Amino acid sequence: MKNQHIVVAGAGIGGLAAALTLARAGQRVTLLERAAEFAELGAGIQLGPHAIKLLSRWGLREPLLARACLPEAIAVRDAVSGRSLSRILLGQAVQARYGEVYASVRRADLHALLLQAVRDEPQVTLHCNAQVNAVHQDAGLVNVQSAQGSHSADGLVAADGVWSGVRSAVFNDGAPRATGHAAYRAMLPMAQCPSAMASSIGVWWGRDVHVVHYPVHSGQYLNLVVLSEHSAARAVPGWASPASAATVLASVQGACAELKDLLGAASAWYSWHLYDRPAARSWVQGHVALMGDAAHPMLPYLAQGAAMALEDAQALADCTQAGEDWAGALGAYEQQRKSRCERVVATARRNARIFHLGWPWALARNAVLTLQGTQTLGMPWLYGYG
């Protein structure tokens, strides 16, 4: 099946990947982005070998790795005592086991690469300032109303995130819900950080909170994230609200001196209250399909949001090539992706409980990790995919 007209709502990482792969599979794509322009996205993301394999398939591996970092290990420590708990090997150990590298990258760098690839595709038309306002399905077609006009298409892909307007309009299954978790994010110049932080991912576990940091942007910066459990009543939408250093430090109660010094070095913090949705009964409604966070928003305790969106995009494109019609392709796409993504969502939720254990359960967790010692990154069902 080729030369279908597909509208993709949302030009984040997932939407750009969907537009790129669908176009290369022979479809005509109209990509609608609600923002008037693409802002600088300051957060970092981690990309496992399963995600790097896809970027390699799309011809983007080398330009991405030129801007990324390849951490050698994940160093897990106790946030209060500072004691080392575990060392998980990445680097050559992961490449030998899974056939690709594990990378850390600034989100803006990955987004810029995908955006340029999409702009180079003659089969893709990109419209900014084009929020989807209404969706109507009739006689096998989808009519999408946006701020830039009306688009009649064979199908619509909702890649517009956890606050998906398409999901709300078409699936009518409720609004996102506050999880009670929040992330505080900052970027530090690597010159201000201990040299060991340039070559590893650091994780600090505390009660109801943990801290993650890793190098990005060719090692020029350290991406620093504090993930804390808060009252859901305090949650507000948005991913870039300014936050005070005092609020961040207060969330990591009893932090050791080394961790306090690291958090105190950040000059600007931004808060991001985490929302999710109940699992969708179906990702497909007529000729409309959900993908990425619109389909399966997940807590960031497995670092898989971007990777799952990339996988969704490739799976959807593969199904359009194999299918005889759009409806059949969507059914195959949902069957291929839904159970895997639900497992990732569940694993991230489990990790949230494990990472944030308090006394005495944290003592037992720490003892088990210490006994296990150094090991190579596990979960072959996740990282060995593809």
Contact 296, 3 (CB under 8 A): no
Q: Which two tokens stand for residue 253?
A: 């109660």
Q: DSSP class of residue 194?
A: -
Q: CA-CA distance, 80 to 64, in Å (whole number)? A: 36
Residue 338 corresponds to which tokens in the numbers above? 């839904």
Closest by Cα among 248, 210, 226, 244 to 356 = 210
Burial tier of 310 (Cβ tally within 10 Å: 0-12, 13-18, 19+): buried
Distance CA 322, CA 329 (A): 7
Which entry of 98, 184, 214, 333 is annotated as an active-site residue? 214
CB 108 within 8 A of CB 255: no
Residue 69 CA to residue 103 CA, distance in Å, equals 6
275 is catalytic: no
Query: DSSP 3-state assignment of 278?
Result: coil
* Number of Cβ atoms within 10 Å of the Cβ of 234: 11
Closest CA to 105 of 161, 60, 57, 168: 60
- The residues assigned a catalytic role are 214
